[in-house]
Structure 1
């Protein structure tokens, strides 16, 4: 596919190095509008031959009938992703072999399947269908991700057509849930129901997904492309680390609309997004989103995959050039200048009991590190319906929010949720800990995550019982350097790697401290610091966390937050 012809800003500043633009090179970077569309690597070659949307027919007609051994390798390791399918890790392969084995040696003949849930919006009927798929085809697995999706494991290719049939019968899909495509659109979990909402982003999310998801013209991007939209003042969609994000604001002359951010992403080269300084009216959001996405498609770097995210293009161009190209080449008119959203005044995870604008209540609950099961999801569907509701939401913080509960039914609902292990009044570490998939299923992982993080939470609840923490201290646990669990934006972020203890390599984590996104505790987002030589063993999470939290409580000044203290403390205090 060839690109189609088309017609000084303050931003959040991280506290560590920003993503740098690629060094000047005599080689082309694979920017379609500059270098032409000739593919410069094998990945770009197969995407131009078939970007992945058409592999669905082969899955349904060939591979589901012939089994795993019948799958073409390029489809298996490339195009399947466009439909939310990754091979999972073969059990028993330790983290020390992750970087030395090929994908074929690492993978099992089972898949992770990612169910796409744009805006996190679910009905109890849809949740019950996911639960049934989990029980029937995925060995009861179900993980709520920090991208508002639900991931299933142990899926066989033979069962995928029936899974799709069940999902699509209730309006769900796996289309473009992975791959070099526009992935799930994060949306405020309290869209349309929060009493303090600035604007309901649901119409904008629906327009983007209806018009553009599955569009062949956008199905070959340089890398993955992540979107977030919120109209809630808590800024609850981690907008600073998305490729494109819209944050609800009130313009003094133009009324309610959105502040536009671009170029955020983490992984091994973290970069926080920046404001373009424009105001986007609600009716223009989809077109502006389309323009930013096409900039990425047409100007994004394709030669080297580790330099192919939008953040690298923004680092080269800067916000002024990015805005100029967007307005002059991809939009019909310039966008007006716009204000920044104020600092959030409430937490964005929505845990707890809250009154809706219609007088009913929503209840935010915490599955421990995002892990739940198919049978529990089915019971949750029944429980919600028994209390007069049929709606819930997933969140970008691995939480669930149940909507539309009459006031007199709230106590009974909370008791039922507690029985399912879903607390609306969790301990501060249970509330603020998230973990990625880890070595249990992920081929990139080096270390276990969910089991280790859950064990640490339970230990910390005992060890720190009775201690008055001034605020939740976020603990994010990741199994490799790729930061799916957002380690650089946590108070305590743990990056999986092998660490050397007494001359022996064992699974462990590198420590990042003092990161965070915009919240009631901090005006601007910032990335965590790393301390030279500071490593934690895989079974030592609780020991380290207890030690550093007690030191923080002893050393903090006045109303100082953990993040502020962590950035000013000397290295000895952080050991």
Structure 2
């Protein structure tokens, strides 16, 4: 077993203990004694070493041979979660023990930093899905690809195939640095300020799999973009770097920290600091170490970086970062301007080299192994050898010669990947839902897919002024970012006409600060407003038509702006 990870002390400024009747488990204040069972097993073995046991013990012995702590804790560090046993309804999610909910199969998350893929890599993922995952494949809003129905016996071969083409699952889940979101058009967009690929590569090569960062209080999410559309939802990441043109220092990044959603949503905040490209990895490491050393560990529901930022505030956070972890101040820097274009990159766009990139939309991120394999073949036949996943459950195909654009668009349509989707298809995402997730209460992918198909018929010809974001989540944890959508649906059991049925609480008018400076923030809820799981299309049609009728067209009012000013009656 690996030794317990301890925070470094050299060069750290001594800080007096904070008076408290209940310590929060902050290593540099309260010491490193674990305050709950989760912290105990992480100190015994944080999870990186469990791969050896998977390959040499569990793959041979099968599911029944797996140590329970490895199964429910350490497996996550290698991208593995047990999936939900079929046939267990959402009403039992909170009443059954984890072992009663789980099946003897796994969700496997393939880590794709920056969303960067080659067709050779895509073909390998498609083959693994087909051979080991019953054809399942979902594009996530963290730029990963998730497979299901994976058995532990297959993991040595799956890792061998992934790693042979430069992919992996290291720290794809768990209390570790998760995948780093990156601009899907990095290095190819004609209007980007800087290509962040070098910064992403430096962080991943230096710090992913680093024992000193493998026991964080909770998950640690990162994002870096060099594109003016700010296409990585930076406001809801623990640390984010957004490209700016500094009047004195040139092109670099604006530093954000402390964003996150789930049941206690909080948008990140600017530290007002400018980060030169060559210092991004150093600053990222500093923020990660602050989280490790000062993050709350006593209660897991308070263990995200956003809670520490809420206590400290941006000024103190920056002071600690600069004095204790960087050893020198960062220059002050301006905020990035409001984006003028959407950040999902859907459609056909000319690259800086004259070729084209094409952003395509599967319905709610659902694809399959055979589709991914055929997609690799189709792209290569049309002159493309690489593509990107996006934080919006989309794909962006790169390097397409002009004469091949329309033939390729037709082939992509045949595969269910639309380059010219309806605004409702373009803006709808959904989490895994009750089909596979042990936390879910309600189905998502199926209901959201049917809603998209129904709404495309019902709203045909309606003049929607902007793309409409519809996010469907199977539980309160907001994997599908419900609080930042025009219409966000949070899965729960609801009472409609006196009967308890699967449904959703409605959030309206969410909009990240980058989208709407006049109304930065999270969606509002309306007391008593609930929607049955099979009623998504009915409700969405009703509220969208009311928006079209009531909006202030002269000011180009957005759905989010209207939803925040509208009377509750209009939102029913």
Shorter-chain-normalised TM-score: which range? over 0.9
The answer to whether 1:428 aligns with 2:415 is no
Q: Does the CA-based 8 Å contact 1:480-1:497 persist in structure 2? A: yes
Alignment RMSD = 1.0
Q: Does the CA-based 8 Å contact 1:346-1:520 persist in structure 2? A: no
The answer to whether 1:321 aligns with 2:325 is no
SS in 1 for 2:106: strand
Q: Which residue of 2 aligns with 1:499?
A: 494
Q: Give the Cα separation in 1 of the matches to 2:9 and 2:341.
A: 44
Ranges in structure 2 where 5+ consecutive residues have no aligned partner: 12-17
Q: Give the Cα separation in 2 of the matches to 1:521 and 1:278.
A: 22
Instruction: Give the counterpart of 1:440 among 415, 435, 438.
Output: 435
Q: Which residue of 2 aligns with 1:371?
A: 366
Q: Give the Cα separation in 2 of the matches to 1:519 and 1:266.
A: 16
Q: Which residue of 2 aligns with 1:287?
A: 282
Q: Give the Cα separation in 2 of the matches to 1:75 and 1:523.
A: 47
Q: Does the CA-based 8 Å contact 2:6-2:212 persist in structure 1? A: no
Q: Which residue of 1 aligns with 2:561?
A: 564
1:230-269 alignment to 2 at 5 Å? 230-269=225-264
Q: How far apart are residue 501 of structure 1 and its match?
A: 1.6
Instruction: Give the counterpart of 2:202 among 207, 217, 220.
Output: 207
Do the aligned partners of residues 520 and 447 (structure 1) sit closer, same or farther apart at CA in structure 2, a change above 3 Å counting?
Answer: closer
| 1:293-333 C-alpha deviation (Å, 9 max, x unpaired) | 00000000000000000000000000000000000000031
Q: Which residue of 2 aligns with 1:273?
A: 268
Q: Does the CA-based 8 Å contact 1:352-1:424 persist in structure 2? A: yes
Q: How far apart are residue 526 of structure 1 and its match?
A: 1.3
Instruction: Give the counterpart of 1:158 among 135, 153, 159.
Output: 153
1:437-516 alignment to 2 at 5 Å? 437-516=432-511
Q: Give the Cα separation in 1 of the matches to 2:327 and 2:19.
A: 32
Q: Does the CA-based 8 Å contact 1:131-1:375 persist in structure 2? A: yes
Q: Which residue of 1 aligns with 2:170?
A: 175
1:40-79 alignment to 2 at 5 Å? 40-79=35-74
Corresponding residue pairs, total: 560
The answer to whether 1:5 aligns with 2:9 is yes
Q: Give the Cα separation in 2 of the matches to 1:504 and 1:165.
A: 51
SS in 1 for 2:259: coil
Q: Give the Cα separation in 2 of the matches to 1:551 and 1:366.
A: 27
Q: How far apart are residue 2 of structure 1 and its match?
A: 1.6
TM normalised by structure 1 equals 0.96
Q: Which residue of 1 aligns with 2:22?
A: 27
Instruction: Give the counterpart of 1:545 among 537, 540, 545.
Output: 540
Q: Does the CA-based 8 Å contact 1:343-1:523 persist in structure 2? A: no
> Displaced runs of 4+ in structure 1, greater than 6 A?
none
SS in 1 for 2:375: helix
Do the aligned partners of residues 332 and 25 (structure 1) sit closer, same or farther apart at CA in structure 2, a change above 3 Å counting?
Answer: closer
Do the aligned partners of residues 520 and 311 (structure 1) sit closer, same or farther apart at CA in structure 2, a change above 3 Å counting?
Answer: closer
Q: How far apart are residue 557 of structure 1 and its match?
A: 1.2
1:327-346 alignment to 2 at 5 Å? 327-346=322-341
1:524-535 alignment to 2 at 5 Å? 525-535=520-530
Q: Does the CA-based 8 Å contact 1:120-1:187 persist in structure 2? A: yes
SS in 2 for 1:539: helix
Q: Does the CA-based 8 Å contact 2:113-2:180 persist in structure 1? A: yes
| 1:424-457 C-alpha deviation (Å, 9 max, x unpaired) | 0000000000000000000000000000000000
Q: How far apart are residue 525 of structure 1 and its match?
A: 3.5
Q: Give the Cα separation in 2 of the matches to 1:435 and 1:52.
A: 29
Q: Give the Cα separation in 2 of the matches to 1:6 and 1:534.
A: 54
Q: Which residue of 1 aligns with 2:211?
A: 216
Q: Give the Cα separation in 2 of the matches to 1:49 and 1:520.
A: 44
Q: Which residue of 2 aligns with 1:14?
A: none
| 1:526-564 C-alpha deviation (Å, 9 max, x unpaired) | 100000000000000000000000011111112211101
Q: Which residue of 1 aligns with 2:86?
A: 91
Q: Give the Cα separation in 1 of the matches to 2:271 and 2:23.
A: 27
TM normalised by structure 2 equals 0.97
Q: Give the Cα separation in 1 of the matches to 2:509 and 2:19.
A: 33
Ranges in structure 1 where 5+ consecutive residues have no aligned partner: 8-22
Q: How far apart are residue 25 of structure 1 and its match?
A: 4.9
Q: Give the Cα separation in 2 of the matches to 1:344 and 1:428.
A: 19
SS in 1 for 2:181: strand
Q: How far apart are residue 523 of structure 1 and its match?
A: 5.5
Q: Does the CA-based 8 Å contact 1:507-1:537 persist in structure 2? A: yes
The answer to whether 1:101 aligns with 2:105 is no
Q: Which residue of 1 aligns with 2:291?
A: 296
Q: Which residue of 2 aligns with 1:16?
A: none
Q: Give the Cα separation in 1 of the matches to 2:307 and 2:485.
A: 23
SS in 2 for 1:29: coil
Do the aligned partners of residues 6 and 279 (structure 1) sit closer, same or farther apart at CA in structure 2, a change above 3 Å counting?
Answer: farther
Q: Does the CA-based 8 Å contact 1:365-1:400 persist in structure 2? A: yes
